Amino acid sequence: MNSLSLGTLAVLSFLMGCVGFLFMVWRISWAVSGFVHMQERRAATEEQLVRTLSDFVGKQGQTNGQLWDAVQVQADRLNRLIEKKAVEVTNGQLG
């Protein structure tokens, strides 16, 4: 009877070990699944961020180009005005 009790105890401990192992495997697979889902969401967020920043940089480049064109136009106008005033002063001194 004593050996039967030890055999039963051994079988029960083996079964509990198997159940614990299966529970551990289930938890690890659940954690890995959550990690993969989180990585997919992070990758999608990074792609959206890169797309948004790319659009911003493109628009900023267009704005800078337009500003530079406007500055050049104003510089040309000022140069013509200065030349015109210089010619008037020169004509006034000669005349």
Split at pLDDT 50, 70, 90, the class of 88 is confident
Task: Please say if the pLDDT value at position 7 is more than 90.
Answer: no
Q: What is the pTM assigned to this prediction?
A: 0.54
What's the pLDDT band for 95 if we cut at 50, 70, 90?
Answer: low
pLDDT at 85: 87
Q: Which residue has the tokens 């990758």?
A: 43
pLDDT, mean of residues 59-75: 91
Reply yes or no on whether the pLDDT at 2 is more than 80. Answer: no
How far is Cα 27 from Cα 25, in angstroms, rounded to an integer?
Answer: 5
Helix (H, G, I), strand (E, B) or coil at 84: helix
